[in-house]
Amino acid sequence: MTTTTSPDTFPNGFLWGGATAANQIEGAYSEGGKGLSIQDVMPHGIKTPPTDGPTPDNLKLEAIDFYHRYAEDIALFAEMGFTVFRFSIAWSRIFPCGDEETPNEEGLVFYDRVLDELEKHGIEPLVTISHYETPLHLARNYGGWMSRELIGFYERYCRVLFERYGERVKYWLTFNEINSVLHFPLMSGGILTPKDQLSQQDLYQAVHHELVASARATRLAREIMPTAQVGCMILAMPVYPLTPDPADVVATMHTAHDSYAFGDIHCRGQYPGYLLRRFRENGIELEITDQDREDLTHTVDFVSFSYYMSSCETGDPARKVTSAGNLLGGTPNPTLQASEWGWQIDPQGLRVVMNDYWERWQKPLFIVENGLGAVDELVEVDGTKTVVDDYRIGYLNDHLVQAREAVADGVELLGYTTWGCIDLVSASTAQLSKRYGFIYVDRNDDGTGTLQRYRKKSFDWYRQVIATNGGSLQ
Ligand code: BG6
């Protein structure tokens, strides 16, 4: 395990908890008046085309049944001492098709209940408004975020959420990993056109619509909930040059711009020069209205991000490899080990990315995803079923130590939510065997299992970390 060089600890009031997304935990895909979302037709993750409708092999249709078991699950989070819980609201529970005038009351009531439960345990909610869950109707009938009309539908959805939950929810995230739309237009942008048939023009127009929608949500939040904090959410993956060759360094800069652009726009309120240049040189002419420009000036209060891994970049096509990774992948770093799913593990990269974002944007940061997807084995220890997940403890410990280093470097960090604090369905592969949780859920890739919950060894470890505000880290 990495050792810390700093005695500093996390700030007082630091928010500790875990993160999830509706489509990966709730199940009940057709209950409570919910409409279909794109996830309901993505049974095998991001690598295969969508199906015509829900199919029995789609684990997300039942997921881990949080829809019916939320009280039990939140009680377990409370037992670990969570002070924050990140979850997303399923857009298609509130607006089943996405383009209706009035919301579905039953869907709103479900989240009232979730918030009641969190309040009961003194856990602060952190709400993602859109986490890879575009209503399917919007994908099929409007072309997803390629259509400007989605800005209005999203704004209406946000208004409903802010008016209903505004007094109870302080922290909001507009779009999960918004930069991933460049790589996975279906999951992130509700665009059914296969990526290889999608023009850069249409893709960047969709990006633009999401960015405007995000900015409008921020403005609306300030009108309706003056004390709310709105953040963007970026898939953070630091890119290192594969060699000291300046050509590798320049290639690295270009790749890094793909992600920076989203933070730059959210934090500075306008398109950066390097992106305008890319548009010019590739014949991309976006429709950007004066109103859009004004909307974009409503910048976020904080920057949240997911961090799992880093990657390398090279200017030499012969050396470029796209390995497995958190959606983006990249050329493997010869100095790092990878997880069972090929994601390169790099705790120090977290410190690097935190310093980098802080220096670039000067906005408080929030780590809203970090964790290790691994195969777990349920075993019996002293008569109790558990998972001895020392590998997960090691991963989280080492990342938290580096987060603490970044705090000691002067980075302002609001909180930390581990990804998949309870086992859930994987976004990229749609498996349940890729487990992240402190809580084991008895459900297998073939759909069998009792759905019963079990505390893993990491459950007690995290409780201790929270109780000591990070003091127990090694
Ligand atoms: C992030 C997503 O990309 O990584 C989550 O925001 C996802 O939805 C997480 O689950 C881990 O990825 P995966 O593919 O292992 O589920």
Burial class (CB in 10 A: 0-12, 13-18, 19+), 253: middle
> What are the backbone dihedrals phi and psi of residue 275, each rounded to the nearest 5 degrees, phi first?
-80, -40
**Pocket mutation for ligand 1, best pick of 182, 419, 421 (most atoms within 8 Å of C-beta):** 419
402 close to ligand 1 (CB < 6 Angstrom): no
For residues 341-370, b (16+ Cβ closer than 10 Å) or e, as one string?
bebbbbbbbbbbbbebbbeebebbbbbbbb
For the CA of 343, the closest atom of ligand 1 is 15
Indicate if 369 belongs to the active site. yes
What pLDDT is stored for residue 330 in this prediction?
81
Q: Which two tokens stand for residue 250?
A: 């320049």
What pLDDT is stored for residue 1 in this prediction?
46
Q: Which two tokens stand for residue 285?
A: 């002419």
> Over the stretch 140-151, which tens digit does the pLDDT of each residue have?
999 999 999 999
Contact 455, 55 (CB under 8 A): no
The tokens 């402190």 sit on which residue? 438
> Over the stretch 235-292, which tens digit does the pLDDT of each residue have?
999 999 999 999 999 999 999 999 999 999 999 999 999 999 999 999 999 999 999 9
What pLDDT is stored for residue 221 in this prediction?
98
Mean pLDDT, the chain, rounded, equals: 96
What pLDDT is stored for residue 3 in this prediction?
45
Question: What's CA 110's distance to the chain center, in Å?
Answer: 22
CA distance 122 to 271: 40
What pLDDT is stored for residue 321 in this prediction?
80
What pLDDT is stored for residue 4 in this prediction?
46
What pLDDT is stored for residue 352 in this prediction?
98
> Over the stretch 72-93, which tens digit does the pLDDT of each residue have?
999 999 999 999 999 999 999 9
What pLDDT is stored for residue 2 in this prediction?
44
423 close to ligand 1 (CB < 6 Angstrom): no
Quote the pTM value. Answer: 0.97
Question: What's CA 159's distance to the chain center, in Å?
Answer: 22
177 close to ligand 1 (CB < 6 Angstrom): yes
SS (H, E, C) 51-77: CCCCCCCCHHHCCCCHHHHHHHHHHHH
> Over the stretch 337-350, which tens digit does the pLDDT of each residue have?
999 998 999 999 99
What pLDDT is stored for residue 8 in this prediction?
64
What pLDDT is stored for residue 323 in this prediction?
72
For the CA of 180, the closest atom of ligand 1 is 3
What parts of the chain have a pLDDT lower than 70? 1-8, 325-327
Residue 255 Cα distances to 4, 79, 104, 138, 176, angstroms? 31, 42, 41, 30, 20
Neighbouring C-alpha atoms within 13 Å toward the C-beta of 218: 28
What pLDDT is stored for residue 326 in this prediction?
64
Active-site residue, selected from the candidate residues 26, 62, 124, 177? 177
Angle at 70 between CA 175 and CA 420, to 5 degrees: 50
